[in-house]
DNA sequence: AATGAATGAGACTTCATTCAT
DNA sequence: GATGAATGAAGTCTCATTCAT
């Protein structure tokens, strides 16, 4: 792994376990196995480093849609999106913890948030097209988007919570169908 | 307003707009119109102050159920809970911003989180009773709880987001029914 | 002595003996007998502290003219100015060392330099009036001012140089008359 | 131009415009069009580099006297020295700015200062010989030297100051004669 | 000889907390 | 109880210097 990625990984690990306020750059450097100065060769400030992690995750999320097949039925596409996204965060629980902690933080810049919004553009189009075909309810698209996002979020919170170890693929299927029922016409 | 509350309000205001990392105690004191030492007469550390705000909000949430009428139909009770909770945060948007930012932060202690969980005990009972009466789906209660919480969260995010001004009471009714449809048997 | 002055004195002492690049704020705090944070209660940055010293010296120089008697002959006034200024720096050799090192430094702001120029306004008037009365040569006033300043500077450099201990009041008298001879009509 | 000189020129330019405290070696390397390592092939430390510039300027100053004709009258020799030196710095204003800023800095080593003193050895001899012939006043030679140096310095400061554009060769002639009048018997 | 990524000591500065008033 | 000047540990960031290429 190159240095830039080591730093990102180290920062992700420490930020999610200790929090922003308890993760000095020196600790990140130590964890990454570099000198502190090296971090600053790649990221001009701590704030930029945090935002880079944010953007990085959002872009990986976006990449999940790269091979979307727009000829499949809307419902199939939706299920694929929904389950892929949940799966992505289950495979990368630190990404989820990071987003939980920093999604609403003023440290995330507007530029980063814009990248975040663009990342879900494919889903917006899927929903719009579903509304057009009267497959999905005629509710404000951004509201539907938030609803779906909230469902993903709540599932992940439940699944990854310390006091749960009963998560299974059946419960995800349940949720997917609950959500589809809620938004379908 | 007494000093203790001034401090809480000042902290809430600054924390939500600037973030934890950019809200020094001196700024809180200034905003509250007190001396820095005064804050320490009420709260031994900054961390305790933050947790106090957290617990305070959770307890106000809990108080929403004080006059719950357990003789009404489950669906009515659910709708009341759901809409009251959304309304509570719409009336207190800073509470929502605070929770968004600090819900997942390591600065919130386990004790505070326990208080938070107790605050929704009434809802747990409502759901369990609903499951018992085969009105609500037989899914893990904590999963349902997270699902409902996620729906509230996503609605509030959408409603309070800067680029939205179309929120109206109809859309909340829509959501309430979407959620009920999703969890009802 | 109050804290603000202790800090100024400590900074002056260390800056003149070690130079700007070898005088950390921590050393100034230690020398001043305060904590580092205390310095920042009075001076927001190191740069401001340096400029404050600069302005402070310039204002003390200006104060030398407060009791100038404008009814005395021009020559007498000039001699008084010249010798008082030399004497001021001989009494405060650290002020001289400070100015030698920082006079031309980019760290001194334009605002500070403006204060410095105002401090010699009385001398400008004396020279202008002398030119008017055809007592002083009709040369650009700022050029005369620099010439006189250069004479003071060179005398002080010589007098305070390590390898000199023959300074005496006669040599100052010599210089004063040399300079007067050079600028008189 | 070879690399060594590029480095010297780059350092001179940046030091005079930004100051020692704001001129990192990396910036010098960039300005010189070399790598940072290359600088260290020629100069073991930043301090040595600065001193090299200092010594270099002093040696160029010394070279001005190489073709001094010791058979000309003392006054002619003095005028030549005086005007050549002023001219040298007017042709190389960065040299002057450099000396203004670093002349008194503790970063200049005693060895460098010794070189500086040797550079004016010819002038010392001229003055001594002038005193011997009772052409120049019988004042401490080093004091005369400083006086003459101060006159040069003050003229250059005035001439090169931002708010001056009236400099002309007549005013230099004036100054030369003022200074000669001041030191001649 | 030339390079520049890597380094970490040390700089400046912040801010939670104390305590004399 | 109320205050805020004082504190210094600890944070972010810089930059002179090294060394593998």
Q: What is the pLDDT of residue B31?
A: 96
Q: What is the pLDDT of residue C119?
A: 87
Q: What is the pLDDT of residue A168?
A: 65
Q: What is the pLDDT of residue C1?
A: 66
Q: What is the pLDDT of residue C134?
A: 94
Give the tokens for residue A51. 């935002």
Residues 11-70 on chain D lying near strand E, CB distance under 7 A: 29, 33-38, 40-41
Rounded, the Å distance between the CA of C114 and C1' of E6 is: 44
Give residues with Cβ within 8 angstroms of D109, minimum separation 6: D47, D51
Point out the residue among B151, B163, B183 whose CB comes nearest to the CB of A150.
Answer: B151
For residue D139, give the chain C residue with the closest CA. C171
Q: Are B47 and A21 in contact (CB under 8 A)?
A: no
Residues in chain B with CB shorter than 8 Å from the CB of A103 are 100
Give residues with Cβ within 8 angstroms of C84, minimum separation 6: C64
Q: Which residues pair with A184 in a beta bridge?
A: A136
Give the tokens for residue A170. 């059946």
**Ranges of chain C with pLDDT below 70:** 1, 162-170
Residues 20-39 on chain C lying near strand E, CB distance under 7 A: 23-26, 36-37
CB atoms under 10 Å from CB of B182, counted, come to 22
Helix (H, G, I), strand (E, B) or coil at C136: strand
Q: What is the pLDDT of residue A166?
A: 61
Q: Are C124 and C140 in contact (CB under 8 A)?
A: no
Range of weakest confidence among B4-8, B88-92, B177-181: B177-181
Query: Using CA atoms in the order D17, D18, D20, D26, what is the torsion angle rounded to 10 degrees?
Result: -110
Q: Is the pLDDT of residue B168 over 70?
A: no
pLDDT per position as a tens digit, A96-149: 999 999 999 999 999 999 998 888 899 999 999 999 999 999 888 988 898 899
Residue B184 DSSP symbol: B
For residue C19, give the chain D residue with the closest CA. D106
What's the pTM? 0.91
Mutate to test the interface with A, among B146, B161, B167 (most CBs of A within 10 A): B146
Give residues with Cβ within 8 angstroms of B154, minimum separation 6: A146, A147, A148, A149, A150, A151, A153
**Ranges of chain D with pLDDT below 70:** 1, 162-170
Helix (H, G, I), strand (E, B) or coil at C56: helix
Q: What is the pLDDT of residue B182?
A: 86
Q: Is the pLDDT of residue B162 over 70?
A: no
Closest CA to A160 of B115, B142, B156: B142
B2 min Cα distance to partner chain A (Å) = 29
State how far the Cα of B107 lies from the Cα of B51, in Å rounded to an integer: 8
* Count of residues making up chain B: 185
pLDDT per position as a tens digit, B20-34: 999 999 999 999 999
Phi and psi at residue B137, to the nearest 5°:
-55, 150
Could you give the angle at the alpha carbon of B152 between the alpha carbons of B103 and A142, nearest 5°? 105
Q: Are C144 and C182 in contact (CB under 8 A)?
A: no
pLDDT per position as a tens digit, A55-95: 999 999 999 887 778 889 999 999 999 999 999 999 999 99
Q: What is the pLDDT of residue B32?
A: 96
Closest CA to C32 of C58, C52, C57, C13: C13
The band of B67, judged by pLDDT with boundaries at 50, 70 and 90, is: confident
C40 in contact with nucleic chain E (CB within 7 A) = yes
Closest CA to A95 of A158, A10, A12: A12
> How many Cβ pairs closer than 8 A exist between chain C and D?
106
Phi and psi at residue B136, to the nearest 5°:
-115, 145
Helix (H, G, I), strand (E, B) or coil at A63: helix
Residue C184 DSSP symbol: B
Q: What is the pLDDT of residue C164?
A: 59
D99 min Cα distance to partner chain C (Å) = 9
């Amino acid at each position: 792994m190159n240095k830039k990625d080591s730093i990102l990984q180290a920062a992700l690990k420490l930020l999610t376990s200790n929090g922003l306020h308890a993760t000095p750059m020196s600790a990140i450097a130590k964890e990454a196995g570099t000198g502190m100065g090296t971090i600053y060769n790649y990221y001009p400030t701590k704030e930029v480093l945090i935002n880079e992690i944010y953007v990085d995750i959002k872009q990986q999320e976006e990449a999940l849609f790269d091979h979307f097949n727009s000829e499949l039925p809307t419902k199939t596409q939706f299920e694929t999106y929904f389950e892929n996204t949940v799966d992505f965060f289950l495979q990368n629980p630190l990404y989820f913890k990071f987003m939980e902690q920093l999604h609403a933080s003023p440290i995330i810049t507007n530029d980063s948030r814009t990248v975040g919004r663009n990342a879900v553009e494919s889903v917006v189009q899927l929903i719009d097209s579903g509304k057009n075909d009267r497959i999905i309810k005629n509710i404000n698209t951004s509201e539907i988007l938030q609803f779906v996002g909230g469902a993903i979020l709540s599932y992940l919170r439940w699944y990854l919570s310390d006091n749960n170890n009963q998560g299974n693929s059946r419960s995800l299927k349940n949720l997917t169908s609950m959500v589809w029922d809620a938004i379908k016409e």
